[in-house]
Structure 1
Amino acid sequence: QFDALHWFEEVVRKYKVEEEAYNEKQAEREARKREQATKKQKETTAELIDDEEEVHTLQLTAKRIELNRREFDLLDWSLNGARIFFKD
């Protein structure tokens, strides 16, 4: 009955979507950096602060995604182990 909900598949899909969104943001940031490097523009102090905040936000996002995925994997393994242990 629990498998009919497809909960585990949906959680895996959700984390993949979050990771893809993170990768897109990271790629956008890297593209902006390359564009600025080719133009050889110097960044203003405000831009440097914004960039540091963006880097910090991206790092926190990556860490959150990884921790959530790890926690979900542990839950999945625990439930699968319990199913095997309590199998009729």
Structure 2
Amino acid sequence: MRAEAGIVKKIRMLFMQGKSQRELWSMGFPLDAVSEAIERCEIRTALPSVRTQIVRCKTCRHKCYENGLRGGVCRACSMRAEAERERKGMAS
């Protein structure tokens, strides 16, 4: 059974304001709605795992998570290099 969207939205707002799961239950919100709202909140604010290493880009030395690198180069630098290659290809 899926909880109503309005109730879930209200619970999410309260949870983001610092209310705990027990406080939300004691306010009278249904158990499944509270669980669904908290799950959605955690998915939306998901951060990399504690074990994810922070490394620096070889090009710009920007700190980023290891999953944001391709060959030791961050996404911004790889996109910049790709745009530069395209521009040089058009100029030739």
| TM value normalised by structure 1 | 0.30
The structure in which a higher percent of residues are helix is 1
Q: Which has the higher contact order (CA 8 A, sep 6+)?
A: 1
The structure in which a higher percent of residues are strand is 2
| TM value normalised by structure 2 | 0.29
